[in-house]
């Protein structure tokens, strides 16, 4: 199950973990805890971050193609 989720997820937890210097599983755990405590509001942040990461990847790939 973990392999499937990591393969097909957006990579937000990995991205945030790399930026903050902590392990991605710890970030996932914090997202789960915060989602339960705040009735799901971190999910909006997660989706926004996933959208932002995909836009950055698209722009980076676009620049590679034009060079």
Query: What is the rounded distance in angstroms from the CA atom of residue 9 to the CA atom of residue 28?
Result: 12
Query: What is the rounded distance in angstroms from the CA atom of residue 13 to the CA atom of residue 31?
Result: 9
Query: What is the rounded distance in angstroms from the CA atom of residue 10 to the CA atom of residue 54?
Result: 8
Prediction pTM value: 0.68
Residue 67's pLDDT band (boundaries 50, 70, 90)? low
Instruction: Return the pLDDT at 13.
Output: 85
pLDDT tens-digit map of 25-38: 899 898 889 888 99
Domain limits at 35? 2-66
DSSP 4-51: HHHHHS--HHHHHHHHHTS-HHHHHHHHHHHHHHTTTHHHHHHHHHHH
What is the count of structural domains for the chain? 1
Q: Cα 57–59–64 angle (5° rounding)?
A: 95
């Amino acid at each position: 199950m973990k392999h499937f989720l990591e393969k097909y997820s957006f990579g937000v937890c990995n991205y945030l973990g790399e930026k903050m210097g902590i392990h991605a599983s710890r970030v996932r755990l914090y997202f789960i805890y915060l989602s339960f405590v705040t009735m799901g509001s971190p999910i909006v942040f997660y989706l926004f971050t996933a959208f932002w990461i995909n836009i950055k990847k698209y722009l980076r790939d676009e620049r590679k193609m034009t060079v």
